[in-house]
Amino acid sequence: MADIVPVTDGAGREFMERTKYRYLGRSDQEKGLPQPPLELPVDPALPVIDLVPPEKIHIPPLDLRTAIERRHSVRSYEREALSLEELSFLLWCTQGVKSVHGTQATFRTVPSAGARHAFETYLFVNDVEGLGPGLYRYLALSHRLSCVKADPDLHIAAAHACFDQSFVMRCNAVFLWTAVPCRMTWRYGERGYRDLHLDAGHVCQNLYLAAEAVGCGVCAIAAFDDDSMAKLLGIDGTTQFLIYLATVGKCGGDRA
């Protein structure tokens, strides 16, 4: 059996080393600095779309064990529109706000380290009833959508930024989670960057399971060009960056 050669350098190894607790100083919270806002501000010039309120969403119940056993990554989708109610359900299940604790924290449908909830959810919409193709942002605090940019060709650029994974163009919508790291590092310092990646897994798994209840499949994507995606989303890639994304579509034949 070959000996395991220890990794002594590289950015990943350095990240794990430098985010150990022994290297952390006082966090911004410990310094008494103000907390970042719970949600990025909404551009008043952009259209806002009301979603189906969580209490009025009617989705057939699905046993949790069944959802877990059915869960697969799906890359082939039917040509059938996703309803606005179904989209509302998926957004609620992945970042829905159950309650707000003043200006300090939100309690949501997914866990987050210290209830920091440092993500913003964007959507590349291809085929959703009542929504034109383009880029949207989920306003979790009010359960609405902000139409950032109408663009019928956005799916082409998105697929290219995902290294030409063509199923990005054929799905109903792409969920994109961006991290606003200062929300997390305000409390946890540089260690908070580890928590961001853990939180992304919680959110995406909720999407996988919730999608089973609306006859959809999901495929998580970690292979994307960071700079190209930042440009498509209109973010700087530093104070806000894309951490994870996933396609959602009515189920086709490929469940692998």
Contact criterion met (CB below 8 Å) for 251 and 217: yes
Residue 255 is assigned to a structural domain of this protein: no
In the prediction, which pLDDT does 23 show? 95
CA distance readout (Å), 119 to 59, 116, 197, 243, 244:
25, 9, 11, 9, 10
Spatial separation of the C-alpha atoms in residues 224 and 242, rounded to whole Å:
9
Spatial separation of the C-alpha atoms in residues 158 and 169, rounded to whole Å:
8
**Given the DSSP bridges, would you call strands 48-50 and 241-250 parallel, antiparallel or unpaired?**
unpaired
Residue 62 is assigned to a structural domain of this protein: yes
Residue 2 is assigned to a structural domain of this protein: no
Helix (H, G, I), strand (E, B) or coil at 149: strand
Spatial separation of the C-alpha atoms in residues 156 and 169, rounded to whole Å:
6
Nearest alpha carbon to residue 46 among 234, 251, 194, 191: 234
In the prediction, which pLDDT does 256 show? 46
Residue 17 is assigned to a structural domain of this protein: yes
Residue 153 is assigned to a structural domain of this protein: yes
CB atoms within 10 A of CB 93: 22
pLDDT tens sequence across 128-140: 999 999 999 999 9
Determine the longest span between alpha carbons in the chain, in angstroms: 64
pLDDT tens sequence across 94-138: 999 999 998 999 999 999 999 999 999 999 999 999 999 999 999
Number of domains composing the chain:
1
CATH code of 148's domain: 3.40.109.10
Residue 4 is assigned to a structural domain of this protein: no
Q: By residue range, what is the domain housing residue 198?
A: 11-250
pLDDT tens sequence across 138-160: 999 999 999 999 999 999 999 99
**What pTM was estimated for this model as a whole?**
0.94
pLDDT tens sequence across 63-77: 999 999 999 999 999
